[in-house]
Chain A
Amino acid sequence: EDKVVQSPLSLVVHEGDTVTLNCSYEVTNFRSLLWYKQEKKAPTFLFMLTSSGIEKKSGRLSSILDKKELFSILNITATQTGDSAVYLCAVPKRWSGNQFYFGTGTSLTVIP
């Protein structure tokens, strides 16, 4: 059965810390993995990692994809209170148009 699992479920850190969030997957005919950030309301897109692009970076956020070991990590360096959110990963279902398997998310709280 296809699945996407995120860990840890929640994390509390102090400002300035570096955090690593994990997303492991078992999905038939894997093509790509997406990361979203969800603050109080709608999830917003962060990165898409594909076979041809296994590392992405944007400011203090970076993500890598390990297709051999079937996981991705999202790193946030020098965390700020504005990084507090739920981080979701999603993997597209094969032969399903643009449907995704979503993980349950990691809730990150950054304390001043």
Chain B
Amino acid sequence: NAGVTQTPKFQVLKTGQSMTLQCAQDMNHNSMYWYRQDPGMGLRLIYYSASEGTTDKGEVPNGYNVSRLNKREFSLRLESAAPSQTSVYFCASSESSGRSPYEQYFGPGTRLTVT
């Protein structure tokens, strides 16, 4: 099993450009998440999807959109990139049920720089 995969690994954008970060998991997990990680700020949740067909905002959703394409895939889109979105982005997945919490499994991350 590949676990959680993300593409691309690195990306440089100019202010105003758009891009989509891709994430896929092969663990048959219902829930998927997008985080950003900045120095001194820890992991902050951008959006999550508790199950296929549903998405919800996390702590820092402004400037982002998501799509839960199917059970395996969860993409994050920056419509008009800003320098404040320079960060490392992690996708994660987990089981989910009334018996949560469950540990989350993380992808390798995407390092995004917006100039």
Contacts and interface: CB of A to CB of B under 8 A. Distances in A.
Interface of A: 31-32, 34, 41-45, 48, 88, 90, 92, 97-100, 102-105
Chain B interface: which size bin? 20 to 34
B43 A98 contact: no
Identify whether the interface residues of A are mostly helix, strand, loop, or mixed.
strand
Contact of A44 (B31, B41, B100, B106): B106
B106 A34 contact: no
Given A97-B48, A97-B50, A104-B41, A92 B101 contact: yes
Interface of B: 4, 31, 33, 40-45, 48, 50, 58, 90, 94-96, 100-109
Given A31-B101, A42-B90, A99 B45 contact: yes
A105 to B, nearest CB: 6
A42 B109 contact: yes
Contacts of A104: 40-42
A97 B100 contact: yes
Given A34-B101, A97-B31, A98-B31, A88 B42 contact: yes
Given A41-B108, A42-B108, A44-B106, A98 B96 contact: yes
A98 B49 CA distance: 10
B101 A88 contact: no
